[in-house]
Chain A
Amino acid sequence: MDEYRWEVPREGAMRVPGIIYSSSRLMRAMGKDESPKQVANVAQLPGIVKCSLAMPDMHWGYGFPIGGVAAFDVNGGVVSPGGVGYDINCGCRLMMTNLRQEEIRPHLAKVVNALFQHVPSGVGSKGALKLSRSEEKRVLVEGARWAVKNGYGSQGDLESMEDGGCLPGADPEAVSERALERGKDQVGTLGSGNHFLELEVVEKIFDRDVASALGIEEGQVAVMVHSGSRGLGHQVCDDYLAKLVKHVDKLGLNLPDRQLACAYIQSPEGQQYLSAMACAANYAWANRQMLMHWTGEALERALGLSPRALGMRLVYDVCHNIAKIEEHVVDGKKMSLCVHRKGATRAFPPGHPALPQKYRKTGQPVLIPGDMGTGSYVLVGTEKAMAETFGSTCHGAGRVLSRAAAIKASRGRSIRREMEDRGVLVMAAAKGTLAEEMPEAYKDIDEVVNVVDGAGLSRKVAKLRAIGCIKG
């Protein structure tokens, strides 16, 4: 279509066309990846509006592609658990500190070690907390507010999160006993796989005014947290997928992939999933809020600083696996839509009522983590994203090598040593994770971000470089 957009023409059972935001280099690098076909499959779902979208970090998922965005009319459209993903409200949060790069460098090993010891991470990691069922249900209803109420962080943190860290409509009765069981001791844990906690330094500022409004300065030390709703979210997705696979058969909907199972938004089944999804989303916000709290404690202890001296503050917290009911203008008409972002980030423009007062002028901060050890980007949302992509942008670098291929490519190498040579100190709970998550396994984050910036879906504000990383 143009420099940044590829069309997947409407054909067969597709109700709308597909549009992929990318660059010729990223498109070439995709090879035999089946994600364009997945973009077309999503376009077959009932009630989809305008087009089935994919962001430049797109890669092959199951059902929806990772990097997929699709919006459905609240009246007559569907909600799909597979369009949200297993890790409901997987997301990122960025905290800035008062520390300068030169102040932390001499103590880096000590700091990374303290984070590794103090913040629970790794496969099946259990937190410091075991919740009673009634307490756990409060977490599901209140989200980050529950964490703040219980001494993890401050009231002010809440306004620096999408939806104030709490999605409305959460009903714990929609969450299975199995999901509750898995969630009882995992709140405040990082988890495994691509989740991480990273120490970063602000390397480059692209927009001085916006950066300053966001409290971001060159040379400053920041922390990026990437985690989600852990086993609880996975179980919610698993439960509802199985339920809706049956439901779809009953409705007689013919879907190209069972993983696209869905329910009409207005149906009892659709509403029940949305209530359960909100619970998992809230659990994820409580989780990241606690991870932030423990990060602060670990940094204070390792560096012998008071909380005031450390000055850790939340810039923003974004979800990149979620479905939300939002107002959008489609063909000049205001519509209430259920926007699915599966590996995509909301990017609302300046002036949007969903933004906290302090970011009304800048637009919503968008946090894009790169692959392990590359660093991250901070961007802001734009009007163009609102007009073209239901206010959405990319979510990360996006995988290019499969996990098995990454392990193969890493044979005979020490990824930890290579990272150290690049100035990044890494500690991982599991042996295999480092190889699976090595930088070559991901697309070039600079290229991905340049596409969304070039296409106008969000604007670059700052680039951060990693100096330390905790992997699950």
Chain B
Amino acid sequence: MKPYHTFDHTADLGLAINGASEEKLFANAAFAIFDIITDLNRVEARDARRIAVEGDNREDLLINFLREVLYLYNGERWLLKEIRIIRISTNGLDAEALGEPFDEQKHEICKEIKAVTYHQAEVRQTPAGWTARVIFDV
């Protein structure tokens, strides 16, 4: 099963993510963002970044996490290839991202994702694992 799919929202981009565990769900969400932004085949995992975020609940935690993940590119011009969730609870998360700085000669930016919104965001546990929905400003 593909770890994510996009869905329609008039002016924006909806993302539905799934994962066997909560860790997997969050890791897949971060992967989805960069899979959309760039061609990951051209990105190497040669540089590490730590991400630590807090949240009031699971939705808030996911949004705060994705805001940090997105800032890697939007703020630091850095592309994520892989991510490992080190610790996760309902209110906090530590993760390690692997990737490299964006290089115009080497990488392609396919699509810009400008921001993560709170609109209709949800995280749910299902019999098959975990699912989440988030809408992005593009």
Contacts and interface: CB of A to CB of B under 8 A. Distances in A.
Interface string B9-34: 11111000000000000000000000
B43 interface: no
Interface in B88-123: 109-112, 114-121
A182 interface: yes
B121 A258 contact: yes
Given A182-B74, A402-B8, A257 B119 contact: yes
A62 B10 contact: no
A456 interface: no
Contacts of B137: 62, 86, 234
A297 interface: no
A61 B11 contact: yes
Main secondary structure of the interface of B (DSSP, over half): mixed
Interface stretch (A131-139, A158-166, A242-250): A242-250
A181 B75 contact: yes
A62 B119 contact: yes
B5 to A, nearest CB: 10
Contacts, number: 97
Given A123-B109, A402-B10, A238 B115 contact: yes
Of A66, A402, A405, A431, most buried by chain B (CB within 10 Å of CB) is A402
B107 to A, nearest CB: 11
Contacts of B121: 258
Contacts of A400: 10
Nearest to A249: B56
Nearest to A245: B118
Contacts of A170: none
User: Which 6 A-B pairs give the minimum distances between C-beta atoms?
Assistant: A62-B119, A258-B118, A402-B8, A62-B117, A259-B119, A60-B10
Interface of B: 6-13, 56, 60, 63-64, 67, 71, 73-75, 77, 109-112, 114-121, 135, 137-138
Interface of A: 33, 59-63, 66, 86-87, 123-124, 178, 181-182, 192-193, 231, 234-235, 237-238, 241-242, 245-246, 249, 257-259, 261, 399-405, 430-432
Given A59-B10, A60-B9, A182-B74, 17 more contacts: A62-B120, A63-B117, A66-B11, A86-B137, A123-B111, A178-B71, A231-B74, A231-B75, A234-B114, A235-B74, A237-B115, A245-B118, A246-B56, A258-B119, A258-B121, A399-B11, A400-B10
